[in-house]
Each structure stands twice: as C-alpha cells, then as structure tokens.
Amino acid sequence: MEYAVLGGGALGLQAAYRLASAGQKVMVFEREELAGGLASGFQIDDVWLDKFYHHIFRSDKTVIALIEELGLGKLLEWQHPQTVSLIDSKTYQLDSPMSLLRFQPLNMYERIRMGVALAYLKIANPNWLEGKRAHPWLESWMGAHGYEMVFKPLLTGKYGAVYDQISLPWFWARIHDRTAQLGYLRGGFQLVYNTLADRITRQGGKILFNTTVEKVEQLDGRWQVETSQGKWSFDRVISTLPTRLTCKIVPELPQDYRQRYEWGQAYGAHCLILAVDRKLTDSYWINVCDQGYPFTCMVEHTNLRAAAEYGDRHLIYLGNYRAMDDRLFKMSKDEVMKEFVPHLKKIVPDFCDAWITESWMFAAPYAQPIVTTDYREHIPPLHTPLENLWVANMFQVYPHDRGQNYSLELAEQLVKQIL
C-alpha cells in the first residue's frame, strides 16, 4: 500500500515510521522546514533548543520507549527541578505533597483540603468526572480561597474568558499524569524527530518539507493529494492535521461528519525566549498566579539543563496560550519584549535589560484545544466515513493533555488499527 501522511509532527512521523517498518510505502508532507511540529526546535550553536518548552514525565512510557528504541536513551536525563507559584509578588514552592503542607499563603486546613482534592484526582477514574466542569468542582473541593489563589489564575491564564467552561477530566489529566521528576533529552527533543525522519527515509519513505497540503480528493479509486509542490496519488491517506483543517482540504467529507466533528476551538501557543548572561532564579517553572502579567509562566530552562550546554547562555521562556486572533500574534518581537520585560523585572527586581544577549519568538496555531464538557462527544473516530482516509491528531488524546507522549501513543493505536 502507498500511504500519504499529512503532517510531520510527532504523531505523523511515528505513524510513518511504523508503516515504513512494516514494509509500506510512505510519503510525509510537512509545511515547515524540519520535522517535529509543535515539538520542533531551533539551533543554538550546535545544539537544539525547543521552540516551545518541553519535558517529559516518568509516566510518559511511550515516548521513553521510543527514545530507547531510537538509540537515544543515553541522552535522556532526569531531574527534580523546582516549580513555584508567584503569589502577591512572592514565589512559593508548590510541586509536591510536602511543599503543599509548607505552602504559607494557605492555612493548614486549606492546605489539607487542597491536598485531599489533588489526591483524589491522582487516583480517580476520569469517567467518574465526565460532564463536570473544573471551575465549580475545584472551588467546592478546595475551598474558594485556595482555588482562587492557585488554580483559578492558571485556568484563566490558559483559557481566558472560557476558563469556567473547561472540563474536569482535562484538569484530572494534569494532576494524574504528571510526576515530580522531569526528563529532558540532552541536545533537545529535535533529535528524536530528526532520527525518526532519518529512519523513515532509510526504509524507503519520503518526507517533503516546506510543502503545504491544499486539497485531498478521491480520483479513480485512489486518493490524490494536491500540494504547493505538486500532486501525488496514494492508496490511503492519514491526516494528522487538526480536524477542522482536514475538513477544509477534503471537500468530500459528508455533512453529518462535519456537523459533529468540525467543531470547537483551539488557542495558539506563543513563546518569547530570552538568553541572558546570568541565572535569574532557583526555579525551573514559575506559575504566574498574580494578575496583570502578559505571560502565564516563566520557565528558566537552564535550571533543568546546564547553561554550559548552550554556550553559557541562561535561557528563559515566557509562555502564553491565546485566541488565534489575539493582538499578541500580530506583534513584532521588539513590541513583545517591550511589553513583557517590565513584568520580568517584577519577578526579578534587579533585572537589567543589558543582561539580555539574544532573543527569539515563536508562535503556532491550534496548539491548545478548548476542552469543554461536551468535548468528548465531538472526538472523531480514527477512520472517517470515506474509505482509506484516517484522521489522528492531538484533539483525540482526550482526556490527556496535548503532548509528545500521547501523540505517539495515538500513532501506535492508529497503525495497529490500519494494519
């Protein structure tokens, strides 16, 4: 069989790799210039840095197994960096049961109450939580004071005006799936996707970068894929693009399918990355719970990895999820820095603009699905009503959050179903 795989992110590459390994003919179409999608990186000297901050958890069994399979296991290193919350202009560690018991902004009763709620989510079956919204449940179980201090700001920072519509199973995954130990691939996760791409081509597959898929249609019993670089014909097509985009480029998908699955919204991801000449804090991740900041988190990557790996640059991510028509996506890097840096000084009072030696900015659409209580009803099956057309994307990893591990897991599930 000849397969077209639309999208060269984690899911598309893993599916193509498994198909090529099984002796199938595969061609991957990717609009960017390199593999990896949202997990891709860029080079600093001779090392890769992720465009959007990434790490993996001990529970991410699929990506760990793939890293080992690709011969990259020796580069996977585990740390226990510090995660803190910025509350009333002060940072407080909040990344373990013990740190919660010491969490000064709450009294002991509030700490225990929050701990009970989090412990329940750690062991709960997500089906028990289906149909419930995170906002009222957390407020009820944790108490208004604790919830409004810690978790409401994180929900509003990520989802804006629709924070109170977000599904509780989505929040469950962020507690249930995570571990205090974090893993990072020395040299960057781009190495995984470069290696996957190399394995695909060595097994006879092809990858076309800088290629936008414009239309997919049935022609004489096969599928014709029309792109910015030409047209090709295949027996089968796997689209790893967002379902909404798949519906746009496949006009033959029936109306009832569109009504049910061409649904929902997603926010885009935005990251400003700063290289500075010194360490700013002792924390890896700062959740911004105070109001008025233009970014939702500050991630000091070089408190997870050594600055020496990046030419003694200390690397800071300032991250956001916003509606794709938000003004942030229209701003230049200089405009964003002008808006963000004064707030960075509120976290690090001694911060001086002269400490910044380099900066980069990246944005990506459809990065965070808006997971409301009726989300599950609109998750499409892997196989579409059209013969030999499959859809697999991060909108289908529910209730788990988008990420490398669950994209790879879905790719494994898809290929098993196809073969």
Query: 239: domain CATH number?
Result: 3.50.50.60
Residues of 360-389 as b/e, b for ≥16 C-beta within 10 angstroms? bbbbbebbbbbbbbebeebbbeeebebebb
Same domain for 274 and 139: no
Query: Which of 103, 110, 105 lies closest to 88, judged by CA?
Result: 105
314 lies in some domain? yes
d(CA 172, CA 151) in angstroms, rounded, equals 13
Residue 76: pLDDT above 90?
yes
Same domain for 279 and 312: yes
Q: Phi/psi at 79 (nearest 5 deg)?
A: -135, 165
Q: Which of 128, 155, 176 is the last residue of a domain?
A: 176
Same domain for 215 and 89: no
Instruction: Assign 3-class secondary structure to the chain.
Output: CEEEEECCEHHHHHHHHHHHHCCCEEEEECCCCCCEHHHCEEEECCEEEECCCCCEECCCHHHHHHHHHCCCHHHEEEECCCEEEEECCEEEECCCHHHHHCCCCCCHHHHHHHHHHHHHHHHCCHHHHCCCEHHHHHHHHHCHHHHHHHHHHHHHHHHHHHHHHEEHHHHHHHHHCCCCCEEEECCCCHHHHHHHHHHHHHCCCEEECCCCEEEEEEECCEEEEEECCEEEEECEEEECCCHHHHHHHCCCCCHHHHHHHCCCCEEEEEEEEEEECCCCCCCCEEEECCCCCCCCEEEEHHHCCCHHHHCCCEEEEEEEEECCCCHHHHCCHHHHHHHHHHHHHHHCCCCCHHHEEEEEEEEEEEEEECCECCHHHHCCCCECCCCCEEECCHHHCCCCCCCHHHHHHHHHHHHHHHC
| Burial (CB count <10 Å: 0-12, 13-18, 19+), residue 184 | buried
Q: Are 137 and 145 in contact (CB under 8 A)?
A: no
- Per-residue pLDDT, averaged over 380-387, amounts to 97
Quote the domain boundaries for residue 235.
2-39+189-264+378-418
Q: Phi/psi at 4 (nearest 5 deg)?
A: -105, 130
Q: Phi/psi at 362 (nearest 5 deg)?
A: -135, 150
Same domain for 117 and 61: no
Token pair, residue 326, equals 């938000």
Query: Please, what is the end-to-end C-alpha distance for the chain in angstroms?
Result: 10
d(CA 171, CA 399) in angstroms, rounded, equals 9
Query: Which of 124, 102, 119 lies closest to 111, judged by CA?
Result: 102
pLDDT band at 241 (very low <50, low <70, confident <90, very high): very high
The pLDDT value recorded for residue 402 is: 80
**How many CB atoms are located within 10 Å of the residue 338 CB?**
11
pLDDT in tens, 108-148: 999 999 999 999 999 999 999 999 999 999 999 999 999 99
355 lies in some domain? yes
pLDDT band at 401 (very low <50, low <70, confident <90, very high): confident
Same domain for 231 and 321: no
**Domain count along the chain:** 3
Measured torsion, CA atoms of residues 49, 53, 56, 57, in degrees rounded to the nearest 10: 150
273 lies in some domain? yes
- Per-residue pLDDT, averaged over 393-415, amounts to 94
The pLDDT value recorded for residue 230 is: 97
**Average pLDDT of the chain?**
97
Token pair, residue 240, equals 């790893």
Same domain for 353 and 270: yes
pLDDT in tens, 300-352: 999 999 999 999 999 999 999 999 999 999 999 999 999 999 999 999 999 99
Token pair, residue 250, equals 């496949």
Percent of the chain at pLDDT > 70 equals 100
Residue 53: pLDDT above 90?
yes
Same domain for 208 and 62: no
Residue at 216: amino acid letter: V
Q: Which of 124, 155, 176 is the last residue of a domain?
A: 176
48 lies in some domain? no
Same domain for 139 and 220: no
Same domain for 238 and 168: no
The pLDDT value recorded for residue 233 is: 98
Residue at token pair 């929050």: 114
| Burial (CB count <10 Å: 0-12, 13-18, 19+), residue 72 | middle
Q: Which of 176, 210, 233 is the last residue of a domain?
A: 176
Q: What is the CATH number of the domain that holds 306?
A: 3.90.660.20
410 lies in some domain? yes
The pLDDT value recorded for residue 24 is: 98
Q: Are 284 and 84 in contact (CB under 8 A)?
A: no
Same domain for 310 and 384: no
49 lies in some domain? no
pLDDT band at 403 (very low <50, low <70, confident <90, very high): confident
299 lies in some domain? yes
pLDDT in tens, 354-375: 999 999 999 999 999 999 999 9
pLDDT band at 158 (very low <50, low <70, confident <90, very high): very high
Rounded to two decimals, the pTM is 0.95
d(CA 106, CA 377) in angstroms, rounded, equals 38
Same domain for 383 and 255: yes
- Per-residue pLDDT, averaged over 251-277, amounts to 95
Same domain for 361 and 270: yes
Residue 264: pLDDT above 90?
no
45 lies in some domain? no
- Per-residue pLDDT, averaged over 244-263, amounts to 96
The pLDDT value recorded for residue 304 is: 98
